Every structure is written in C-alpha cells, then in structure tokens.
Chains A and B, each alone.
Chain A
Amino acid sequence: MNTLTFIFYFFMLTAAASATGILLSRNVFKAALMLLVCLLSIAALYVLSFAEFVAITQILVYAGGVLVVIIFGIMLTSKLSGKPLQVGHTNIFAAVLSGILLFALLANFITDDVFAVPQHAVETQGALQTIGTNFMTAYSLPFEIAGILLLAALIGAAAITSFMKSKKV
C-alpha cells in the first residue's frame, strides 16, 4: 500500500465518519461543522480523482459559501428564541430501515462488475483548459441559463428575507 492509496482511504473514511456524525448529532452547529469536514474530504477525493477544478469549486462554493449561509441561518433561528440548539429525532426506525435498504439496493448494483476502470494512465493534460473551452462552446446554453438561475435565486432570496420586519409576527 503506497502513500496515495493510504491518503485516498483516509479521506474516504473521514467523509463516511463525518456523515455518520451528522446523523447522530443532536446539535445543529456541530452537525454543520461535521458537514464542513465531510465536504472538504470530498474535495480531497475529487483531487485524487483527477478533478481539480471541481475540487476547487467545491471548496470555494460549498465550504466558503453554503456553509457560511447555513451557519448564519442557524444563528438567526436560535437567537430569536434563546433555546439551545438541540434537535429531536423522529421516525428513527423508518429512516434507518429505508437507508439500509437503499444502500443494499445500490450496493447490489455496484457489486456487479459492470463498472471496471480501465487501467491505463489517465490523461489529465489541460483539463482546466478543456473545461473552460467546454463552458464557452458545447455548454454555452446551460452556462447562460445557470447565470440567469443564479440571478433569480439571488434576487428571490433577498426579496424573501427583506420583508422580515414589515409583517407582524
């Protein structure tokens, strides 16, 4: 087992363990921090899977953006009531059962050897350049639609929250 394989399995274990921690934790803030650990280890797995640009986007957008927004949300929804951030659990049996069944179903398909990786060396020369060219040529329409979607989501989120004080609670 060389160093690369060890790093790969280490980050896989970290991601799985932090996801399990989210499931078991009753504290929302600790769960958000464990989601941060999970997202960062998934970004490391992207790097090890020859997807550097996706990894950088994951770190910038998820770890830098979404997690900050989520932590803001946690702080805003706990400040008003003053209650501790404890979360109750319901439907434990149904959730565990459906999770295990879905995992068994997926593992049943994964175990079949239809997904064999070709063992030749992966050519990664100019992956970033290829992604940039793809955005401007083959994926230009989804790229523009994504821009419109981001603008609509930005305006919508600002409009939804800007009426906060106008209506009596």
Chain B
Amino acid sequence: MMPSLQHLLYLAAFLFCTGLAVVMVKRNTIMMLLGIELMLNASNLNLVAFNRLYPASLDGQMFALFVIIVAVCEAAVGLAIVLRVYQHYQTSVPDEISELKG
C-alpha cells in the first residue's frame, strides 16, 4: 500500500517550519527568498496531498498550479528588488538596510 496522507502532511509541515526558520535565521535576502520558496512548496505539497482525497475533481492540483505561477512572479520581482537594493546599499544583509533616504 501507499504511505498514508499523514506522512505527506508531516513532511509538508516540516518543510514549512524549516522555511520559517530559514527566513528568521539567515542574514541574507537571497537566503530569505529560498526560505519563502520552501514554504510555498510545502503548501503546494499539502494541496496535492489533499487532492488524493477527492481524485475526481483535481481542484487541489489546479490550485497548486496557480500557486506555482504566483511564486514565479514573486521570485522574479523579489530578486529584481534585491539586485536593485544591493546596487544602492552595497549589501544584501536586511538589517543593514535601515535608511529611507534614497
């Protein structure tokens, strides 16, 4: 038999908590983006796993596809902002970016 739904949900919860810890711990904006991607993937894993409960509808997989689309937009715009901020402040440590004056 296949592993139960619970195991996938435990994995997704673990990935989400790891992503949260990565966002909180790392002192680098790109590492924080990696953590956000990890959290988005954990939520996608949950959606696909719950789709196994209702295999006829495929609504979970559709929603996972839309989440992937939005995650791509977030990554592109986020990295563009990171590059721009790096160009301006010469640092990618978010704690050191503390002045509002352009």
Could you tell me which A residues sit within 8 Å of B by CB distance?
4-5, 8-9, 12, 15-16, 19-20, 22-23, 28, 31-32, 35, 38-39, 42, 45-46, 48-51, 53-54, 57-58, 61-62, 65-66, 69-70, 72-74, 76-77, 80-81, 87-92, 94-96, 98-100, 102-103, 106-107, 110-111, 115-119, 122-124, 127, 130-131, 134-135, 139, 142, 146, 149-150, 152-154, 156-158, 160-161, 163-164, 167, 169
Could you tell me which B residues sit within 8 Å of A by CB distance?
1-11, 13-22, 24-28, 30-31, 33-35, 37-38, 41, 44-45, 48-53, 55-56, 58, 61-62, 64-66, 68-73, 75-77, 79-84, 86-88, 90, 92-93, 95
A28 touches B30 (CB 8 A): yes
Distance (whole angstroms) from the CB of A154 to the closest CB of chain B: 7
> Given contacts A22-B38, A62-B41, could you give 11 more A-B pairs where the C-beta distance is less than 8 Å?
A15-B11, A23-B22, A32-B30, A32-B34, A53-B61, A66-B75, A70-B30, A77-B83, A89-B25, A103-B14, A110-B9
B27 touches A90 (CB 8 A): yes
CA distance A112 to B47 in the complex (A): 18
B48 touches A57 (CB 8 A): no
CA distance A31 to B31 in the complex (A): 8
A66-B37, A81-B90, A123-B56 known; A153+B77 contact, CB < 8 A: yes
B79 touches A73 (CB 8 A): yes
CA distance A129 to B28 in the complex (A): 42
A73-B79, A150-B73, A157-B80 known; A169+B28 contact, CB < 8 A: no
